[in-house]
Structure formats: C-alpha cells, structure tokens
Structure 1
Amino acid sequence: MSARRPSSTPLSARLRDRSPGLSASLLNGVVAAGLGLGTLAVLVLGLWISSPYPDSGPGGALHVVTALWLLAHGVELVRTDTLSGAPLPLGVTPLLLLALPGWLLYRAGRYATDASAEPDGPPPVPVRTAWLGVVLGYLGVGGAAALYCSGGELRPSWGWVALSLPLVAAAGAGAGVWSARGRPQEPLLVALRAVPGPVRRVVFGADAAARVGTAVRAAGASAAVLVGGGASLVAASTVWHGEAARASFLHLTEGWTGRFAVLLLGLALVPNAAVWAASYALGPGFVLGAGHLVHPLTSDPAPMLPPFPLLAAVPDAGPGTRLNWAAALVPVVASVVAGWFVARAAVRRRGRGEPPRARWSVARTTGVTLLTATACALLLALLAAFSGGPLGNAALACFGPPWWQTGPAAGAWTALLGMPTALTVRAWRLRGARAAAPPKDAGEGTGKTKTKTKDETKHPLAAFRSPAETKRPLTPPRPAPGATGLPGEEPYDILPAEPFTERPPAGPPAAETP
C-alpha cells in the first residue's frame, strides 16, 4: 500500500481566486489616484497655458498639480520661496477639493467588490482583499507623487503624508466596499465591544443597531442643517459687504486668467467658510490669526488680512449687534431637526389609518437624543479640524474654528433643544393611539347593539358568514410566510384556517356496526 499525498487543490484554488481580485483592486486604486491627478493637471495646465506671464515652466506647473492633490488629502505643505527665506506652512485644506479623492476612492471600492453577473464568472472578491488592494494601489501613487513634489517650491510635510494620506484612502475605500456589500450594520457596531457590558446594556439596550442608526442619521441631518445655515450666512454677509468683496476680487489680479483662478479658489473654499460660519452661529466662532477671535458677541479680525472675497464677508470689528445674534437661529433649527428625527424613530405607525405605537419609552428616547448629541459633536469637531489650519508663522499660524470648542457647542445645543423637541413630538405622534381606543361602554344600555366578539372583530371574513355559522367562533387568520404578526406591517393571508362548515355536535362516539 502506498500513502496518498494530500491534494493541494484547495490552496491553489484560493490563490487562483484571490490573485485576480487583489490585482484588480490594486488597479482600481491606481486608476482612482491617476484620475484625481489628471483632473487637477488639466485644470492647472489649462490656466498655465492661458496665462500671459507664467512664472515657471511645465515642471513647475506639474509640481503645483501634485501639491494641490496632496493638499486635497489634508497634507500640510511647506512653502520655501519666501522673502525672508524661512519656510512657511500651508495647512488650510479646501474641502471641495477633498470631495474629489473621496468620491474616486468610493467608486474604486465599489468596483473592486462588484461580483460578476454571469454564472461562469469569477467569485466575488473578499471584502478585506478588495479594500486592501484599493488602499495599497492608491498609496503607491500617492507616495510617488509626494516624492516628486518634494523637489518643488511647495513641499509636503512627511509627517502629514504618513498620517493624512492613508487615513483618507482607508476611509474612502472602506465606504465604497461597505456600500457595495449592502451597508451592513455589523461593522458600525464593532466599536461597541469596547464598551463594558453593563454600560452598553444601559445606554444602548437590546436594540443597539436601531439606536445607533437613528443617532447617526439624526446627527447627520443636524450637521447638514448647520453647514447649510452657515453657507446661507456666508452668502448673506457677502451680499451685505458686496462692495468690499468686489474691490478685493478686482485688486488681486487684472487678467481674466488670474481672476478665473481666484474664482475657482474661492469656490473651493466655500465649504470651509460654511463650517466657519456654522461655528460662528454655535458660539465659539473662528480665529483669523493668532489672538483675533470672531464670534457673535464681538468681532476682532486681524488688521492686516490679505484681500480676498470670502474674507471681505467677515463681520465688522466691534461688539455684536442683534443682526449678529440672529445667527443663533441656525443651531436652533438644527437641534429641532435632530429631535424630530429621534421622535420619528421612537414612534412608528403600523399602517395607513392604524394607530401609532411607541417603540421607545421616554427614558430610551432621551438616551437616543443624548447619543445623537454626542455624534453631532464628533462630526462638527471633525469638520472644524479639517476646515482650518495655518497660513504662515506668527500671526498667520492659526486660521479657522477651534474644533475643541465647536464640537462640544454643537453637542450642547443638540442636547438642550433636541431633547424637549424629541419628547414633545413623541407625545404628539402618540395622540392617535389614545384617540383610536374605543370606549368600554359602547353599545351598553340600548339593548339593540350587539358587541362583537374578539374573534369576529379580527377576522376579515366575519361579515360574510351565514346565520348557521354564527354559532361557531371564528379562528384568527393565518399570517403569511415572513409576516411579523402585526396588522398593517406585513401582508396577511385572509383565508380562514378551515372551511366554514358546521361541526357535528360533541358527544359519545356511535357504536360500530358489524
């Protein structure tokens, strides 16, 4: 007898299946990075070609392309061509530029995990393989771009390259892979494992997924209202200071190419200005240079700010007026929206015309509102941190909202106003449940009204019974496959459990005849 060698087919099959998936994912990451660089290259080279007096050749323009691409990922740049010779940091990331690599990474993650619709096609790529391949391919191009940019006038800070570039790549690709897999809730609940069991049961309860999902949606809606309200404040202030904004726009450059570049830069910084205005409405305000704080109570902008249209929209120096205090309406509306989202999830309606039912008690609704306030605080702190940064040394070392104050302020507004809103809307939505309850003495005392039995009121065919069948109680309807048992939520099978025939009277069995 000879011993048979173990087959290597399973291992070779796994390697064969994984290798194409990993290589395709790497290619998706490389293509995403290349598309981002190519988009910025078309824009910058077009402006360089149309400029009547370019300062450098094609090499300098390509260095600017890679610098802008790295800046779009949150990488801080260092400017070396200064009058004093000392390098100056440049860390304000235009948030509109951040949307470009984020969207490309999201699409790359989705494409990497798309399964073939053909029966004989390759198996779906595992989640980790797709995500890792996209991230590694993207970081390979990003590292090469950082090396190329290090020889120009705008050089990347390698500490920020090692921190910000992998963070953006991992987040964007992870969002794409998660969306392609149907947005499962399990990855979002992994962080809850770090919370101790007793605390987790008290805060989140048994339905942790529903509470966390509601809090995230409510916090996202509140943050959207805050940023949208901030954009409205920026637009109103720009119109109010329209003459100063126009003068600063015309003062920066004279040619149409330069003015178009200034216009594009202003549009890229509009989301930053919206976040700054949201922090202004929340109370902490924003900093325009070291020691120069601007908030609704007082405005103290730096005296030597460079001319720029968005900076012309800054409130005038001096104490705030009632017009400045009216900006507080933005967080009020955002907190009400967050409370309404929580109350809508706390009370559900079974169906059209059916009374609502309470999903969460008052205590649980309060807990979800506090969880929403925490999520909103984290989200606003992250936006504030990304929207600001340094523009130089000394007085220009600090620009933007203080994230350690903006986040807690957003959480405090949401907790103080969102909680009473959620409880009030919850009570208002439950009013139909009390109004729909029938009185107990209905039909009593008249002698003419017959009270229906429990089975007859529930059965859908009770009105079609014959007089001979009314003596037998009806059986409740059978739920259809997959039904939850609550009327109005799932379709019911309206067929009765058995035919409506009269049963023989109960009694001793008849004697058998031979």
Structure 2
Amino acid sequence: MTERGTPLSAAPRAGVRRRSPAAAACVVGGAVAAGLGLGFLAVLVIVLWISSPYPDSGPGGALHLAAGLWLLAHGTELVRYDTLSGVPAPVGMTPLLLVVLPVLLMRRAARLGSAAEEDDEEVLPAGAVFSAVLCGYLAVGALVTVYAAGGPLSADPISAAWHIPLVAVLAAAAGVWGARGRPLGPLPSWLPKGVRNAVVRPRYALALRAGAGGALVLLGGGALVVGASLAWHGAEVQASFLSLTGVWSGRFAVLLLALTLIPNAMVWGAAYALGPGFALGADVTATPLGFPGAPGLPRFPLLEALPAAGPGTPLTWAVAGVPVVAGLAVGWFAVRRAREVSYGETALTAALGAVVCGLAMTGLAAASAGPLGSRRLSEFGPVWWTTGVAAFAWTAVLAVPVAVAVHAWRTRPAIGPAAPEGDEAVAVDDRWHDSGVREIRWAAMRKAAGALIPDIALPPVPPVVPADSVAPAAPVGVPGRRRAVTVVSGLDLDPGLLAGAAGPVEAAASAPLAPPVVGARVLARRKPPPE
C-alpha cells in the first residue's frame, strides 16, 4: 500500500494506461507512413494507366503493379511468371531513387513519435517509439506482400521477409536518433566498455566524415562519367528513347524509369572508374580495360551510354582520376586541426576513413545490382565485394600519405629569426611596451590612416635621457611613484612625422625603423623583481 492507500500494483498500470495512447499513436504513424508511400505509387500508376491508349489490364492490375513497385522500393525481389519462355523471370534490381520515399516517410514517423506536441504530454522512451512505429509499418508491409501475390509481379516471400524490416529498422533508428539530438553516447550497457569508450573518440567521427566524403566523391565522379558518356552517345540515346513508344504517356513512363535509375547509374559509373566495372549479363563485364560487347541487351536510353566494344583506350583509362580524387579527399578530411595529434593517429584515422568508404561502396553496389530476368540477364550491375575492396584499396593507398603530409604542413613551425631568451627577452619585451615606442607607432598609424583616426591629445612625454640609461620619472596622474623609461634606438620615421605630436620624441626619429619580424613569439611581460 502507498501513503494514499493505492495498491502498489496500480502504479505501473496507471503508467501503462498513460503511455498507451502515445504508443498507439506511434503504431498508427508507422502504418500511415507505409500507406502514404503506397498511395503515392498507386496514384502515379493509375494516372499512367488512365492516360495509356492501350491499357491491357483493369484498375486491379494497376493496383497490383503499384503494390509490386512499393515492395521493389524496399529491395524485395519480384517474380514475373507470364514470360514467353514460360520460365519465371526474377526482377531484383531496385531503383535507388524509389528507396528514398519509404525511408523519408518512416524517418519522419519516428521523429514525430519521439516528440511531444504539448508540454504536459509524456514522451515515450526511444525503444518504445522505435518498436511501435516498426510494428505499424511491418503490419502494412505484410498485407501488401499478400496482396501483390495475385498481380503480374508477385513478391518473393523470403526476400520480402528480410528486405522490408531492414529498410524499416534503419529508417526508424535514424528518425529516433535524430529526434534525440544525434547523440554519440551513451551506448547500451550490454556492449563492452572498450567499445563504448572507443566510439566517442574524435578519431571515429573524423573517420566517418572522411569515408563519407570519399564515397560522395566517388558517386560524383560516377555521375560525371555517366553524363559524359550520355552526351558522347547523344544520338543513340535519343533514337532509343523515341523508338520504345510513340505516345506521350509511354514516353513519360520511360522517362520516369530512367530518372529513378540515375542513382544506380552513378554507382555503376563509380564501380567502372574503380576498375572492377559492372556485369551486363552472364560472362560480360564492362571495365576501363575493355568491353566485349553485349548484343542481347534490351533497348533503353541509359544502356546506350555503354562504351564501344573492344579494348580500352586512353579515354576510358582517364576515369582512374575519380578514385585518385576520392583518396585525396579522404586524406584531407582525416586530419584534425590540433598540434597535439601524432602522425600515427592521423594515419590510423585515414585508414579507418578508407574502411568506411569501402563499406559504403559495398552497400551501394549491392543495392544497385540485381537480376532483370533469367539466363543472360540474371546478372546485372557491379559485384559488391570487388567494388568495396577496390574502393578501400584506392583510398587507403592515397589517403594515408596525404593525411600525414597535410598534418605535417599544418603543424610546421613558424619560419623567422630565433626568439630571444632570458634577460634579452625581458629587455625586448620592455622596449616593445615602452610608452615612447607606443607614441611613435601611434603617430605612424595616424599618418597612414589619414582622417580615419581623429586627433587625440597625447599625454606629456617624459624627458629624454641618454641611450642605455635609466632616469626616474613620475607617471602622469600617479604622484609619488617613479618608473624606468627606456629609450629605444633603431627607429626610422619621417622627420616631420612627429613635428606636432611630441617635441622630445624627435630625437628618436632619425634612426632606421626595424623591419617587421616574421614568425616571432609574443612573450608575456614580466614584472621586475622587487628591490
């Protein structure tokens, strides 16, 4: 019993009741995220079906096709049974641009579930939000998989069983992590302490940034390679686009399909520049060293950008500049702006950045490849492990020495005359801060600035004493106190510069002005020891 007479078992039940509406809202949010993605594809397919002059199926067939496209956007392999040969043809190459739609919707649902709309509303723990949103999304995914089985493109149940949860888990985790402020720790307690302490080190954050930068450079270089090849084969690309269909709705569908495959083409171009290339069917691979040709390929605008059949040329070998730039980028981003970091730490960070770049290219190559049919079209796209190994090798060989060189350049010592030490340093410091020298510098600044600096009345200047001698003088405004004034020789100014500024200072205007010191150290002023 509690103090108010409420049983102890009622307290957790009340908490469960308070949390149940928020958990139910997260489940609904996950289901809505799946429904929005499915609805967008359904509307697009229905519009194309209505505008087609020769529709070969009813609205049911269009909805089944939309369900198949939604599953394909998660990486699920589809199977087409109505083929001319009677052999089922798998369709497993996922347009990467379609993946963005479910990922963004699922991430948004997780972020909304992690935020409270009102101040008095209880925020669910991250694990509860993640589980609730995931349950709602997977429930819709299971229904869509069952519904798509009766259409022209049915989903492979085994492929759907792990591809849909994989995409949903990654997107939901990213949403919850972003809603919590993207913390790097603390990690779960069940992980080893060494792992939890190592992840929060700056080395791994820099390696992640360097690897991501290298992967982005590779993708940008792949896009440049594909774009240049499309422009080079512009006539063939146009002829292929116009020959596929003669109606505007069909051409619009072909254009949409080509746009969704542009990220795939970027990854293929990066794999081509790295060296392993990409497969275009059984025993046919396009690499910078040569392309045997693939006459059985279907006509499609992006496929017309393939290099000509035959051995490689200096033009195809020039794509090696893409991984070179990627390696330089990894080495540049792996350097910390701190002098206390050692060369070994910098080299290790660059090597870890190369590992991150290799892993990123491995995942992208695996996601962009897949079969487009049976027999000759059973292998399409880059091989994931060769692409990842090539990306790691290129970036590691270049990034480590570049990172060490950049670190050495940033931490190089200042170039200039040796700084004085001991009593000489104290004397130089006193002469630099002497009031007479400050007045001379101020007059020089006024002459250079012209009317920008107004005239300011200068304080009385103590009388001039011979060089290397000390004369007592009372500071202005402090009666009864004396200070040592040191007259510094070696200053060269215009004799008329200080004509109206200070009379006694004119004696120092005939000596040469010391040249500016490059790389000098600024020392703290030391007070003279008490007498």
TM-score by length of 2: 0.78
Does residue 307 of structure 1 match 2:302? no
* TM-fit CA distance, 1:370: 1.2
Give the structure 1 partner of residue 150 of structure 2: 151
Give the structure 2 partner of residue 225 of structure 1.
217
1:183 is displaced (CA, Å) by 0.3
CA distance in 2, matches of 1:259, 1:145: 28
Report the alpha carbon displacement of residue 38 of structure 1 after superposing the two structures with TM. Answer: 1.0
Residues 266/439 of structure 1: CA separation in 2 closer, same or farther (3 Å cut): same
Structure 1's 440 and 45: CA in aligned 2 closer, same or farther, altered over 3 A? same
TM-superposed deviation, 1:10: 2.4
Cα-to-partner distance string for 1:433-483 (whole Å, 9 max, x where unaligned): 545997134872996753899xxxxxxxxxx99796999xxxxxxxxxxxx
Paired letter, 2:360 = L
Distance in 1, matches of 2:400 and 2:62, equals 53
Equivalent residues in 2 for 1:119-198, closer than 5 Å: 121-186=120-185, 193=191
Q: Identity across aligned pairs (percent)? A: 50
- Distance in 2 (alpha carbons) for counterparts of 1:364 and 1:320: 40
User: Which position in structure 2 is the counterpart of 1:28?
Assistant: 29
Matched AA of 2:107: Y
1:377-396 equivalence runs, <5 A: 377-396=358-377
List structure 1 segments (4+ residues) > 4 angstroms apart after TM superposition. Answer: 189-195, 204-208, 435-438, 445-449, 464-471
Provide the rounded CA distance (Å) in 2 between the counterparts of 1:469 and 1:299. Answer: 91
Candidates 385, 402, 416, aligned match of 1:421: 402
In structure 2, the CA distance between the partners of 1:173 and 1:230, relative to structure 1 (3 Å rule), is same
| Inter-CA distance 327–10: structure 2 relative to 1 (3 Å threshold) | same
What amino acid is the match of 2:105?
A: L
Deviates more, 1:268-277 or 1:19-28: 19-28
In the alignment, what sits opposite 1:266? 258
Q: Which of 397, 408, 420 matches 1:440?
A: 420
Cα distance, 1:448–1:438 mapped onto 2, change above 3 Å? closer
Which residue is 1:294 aligned to? 286
Q: State the Cα distance separating 1:221 from its structure 2 match.
A: 1.1
Structure 1, 176-185 or 8-17: larger mean CA deviation = 8-17
Deviations 1:77-116 (A, max 9, x none): 0001111222110000000000111111111111010123
Matched position secondary structure for 2:286: strand
Aligned residue in 2 for 1:502 = none
Match of 2:44 in 1: 43
Q: Is the 8 A contact 1:369 1:418 kept in 2?
A: yes
Residue deviations 1:230-251, cap 9 Å, x none?
0111110001011111111111
Partner of 1:256 in structure 2? 248
CA-CA distance at 1:260 after TM superposition: 0.5
User: Residues 271 and 277 of structure 2 are in contact (CA less than 8 Å); yes or no, is this contact kept in structure 1?
Assistant: yes
Query: Does the C-alpha gap of structure 1 residues 377 and 448 become closer, same or farther in structure 2, counting only changes over 3 Å?
Result: closer
User: Structure 1 residues 448 and 123 mapped into 2: Cα distance closer, same or farther (>3 Å)?
Assistant: closer
Distance 1:152 1:422 in 2: 55
Closer, same or farther in 2 for the Cα pair 1:297/1:5, shift >3 Å? same
* Equivalent residue runs for 1:284-363 within 5 Å: 284-343=276-335, 346-348=336-338, 357-358=339-340, 360-363=341-344
Unpaired runs of 5+ in structure 1? 349-356, 454-463, 472-504, 506-514
SS for the counterpart of 1:444 is: helix
- SS of the counterpart of 1:421? helix
Q: 3-state DSSP class of the match of 1:316?
A: coil
Deviates more, 1:443-452 or 1:302-311: 443-452
Taking the aligned partners of 1:192 and 1:12, their CA distance within structure 2 comes to 28
The answer to whether the 8 A contact 1:281-1:327 is kept is yes
CA pair 441-172 structure 1, distance change in 2 beyond 3 A:
same
Task: Please give the secondary structure, in 1, of the residue aligned with 2:150.
Answer: coil
> Alpha-carbon deviation of 1:122?
1.0
CA spacing shift, 1:91–1:446, aligned 2, 3 Å: closer
Tell me, in whole angstroms, the C-alpha distance in 2 between the residues paired with 1:192 and 1:418.
Answer: 35
- Say whether residues 1:91 and 2:85 are aligned partners: no
Q: CA offsets, 1:343-377, max 9 Å, x none?
A: 1xx224xxxxxxxx33x210111111111111111
Contact 1:185 1:209 in 2 (8 A): no
CA distance in 2, matches of 1:175, 1:445: 57
Q: Which amino acid aligns with 2:29?
A: N
Distance 2:48 2:184 in 1: 46
Q: 2:349 aligns with which of 354, 368, 375?
A: 368
Matched letter for residue 46 of structure 1: V
Q: What is the one-letter code of the residue matched to 1:38?
A: G
* Gap runs ≥5 in structure 2: 434-475, 485-529
Distance 1:17 1:465 in 2: 73
Decide which structure has the larger Cα Rg and report it: 2
Contact 1:297 1:320 in 2 (8 A): yes
Report the AA paired with residue 76 of structure 2: V
Tell me, in whole angstroms, the C-alpha distance in 1 between the residues paired with 2:420 and 2:428: 16
Q: What is the CA–CA distance in structure 2 between the aligned matches of 1:137 and 1:469, rounded to whole Å?
A: 84
Change in 2 beyond 3 A, CA 1:319/1:44: same
Instruction: Report the residue type matching 2:386 in the other structure.
Output: Q
Q: CA deviation at 1:45?
A: 0.6
Q: Which amino acid aligns with 2:419?
A: P
C-alpha distance in 1 between matches for 2:67 and 2:189: 36
Alignment CA distance shift 1:451-1:300 (3 Å): farther
Counting only pairs closer than 5 Å after superposition, residues 227-246 of structure 1 correspond to structure 2 as 227-246=219-238
Q: 2:64 matched to 1:60?
A: no
Report SS of the residue matched to 1:182.
coil
- Of the structure 1 ranges 3-12 and 276-285, higher mean CA displacement relative to structure 2 is found in 3-12
SS in 1 for 2:352: helix
3-state SS in 2 of match to 1:347: coil
- Tell me how large the CA RMSD over aligned residues is: 3.0
* 1:2-53 superposed Cα distances (whole Å, 9 cap, x missing partner): x977333421232023212210110110110111011111111111000011
Q: Distance in 1 between matches of 2:226 and 2:147?
A: 37
What amino acid maps onto 1:135 in structure 2? L
Given that 1:21 and 1:129 are in contact with CA atoms closer than 8 Å, whether structure 2 keeps it comes out as no
| Aligned-residue offset at 1:277 | 0.5
The answer on whether the counterparts of 1:287 and 1:398 sit within 8 Å (CA) in structure 2 is yes
* 8 Å Cα contact 2:293-2:310 kept in structure 1: no
Aligned partner of residue 386 in structure 2, secondary structure: helix
* Maintained 8 Å contact 2:219/2:270: yes
Relative to structure 1, is the Cα distance of residues 446 and 273 closer, same or farther in structure 2, using a 3 angstrom cutoff?
A: closer
* CA distance in structure 2 between the partners assigned to 1:17 and 1:402 by the alignment: 51
CA separation in 2, counterparts of 1:465 and 1:98? 77
Instruction: Check 1:23–1:430 CA distance in 2 against 1; reply closer, same or farther (3 A cut).
Output: same
Give CA-to-partner distance per residue, 1:324-348, whole Å, 9 cap, x none.
Answer: 01111111111111111111xx224
Q: 1:384·1:402 contact (CA, 8 Å) conserved in 2?
A: yes
CA contact (8 A) 2:184 2:200 kept: no
Residues 356-408 of structure 1 deviation map (CA, whole Å, 9 limit, x = unaligned):
x33x2101111111111111111100000000001111111100000010001
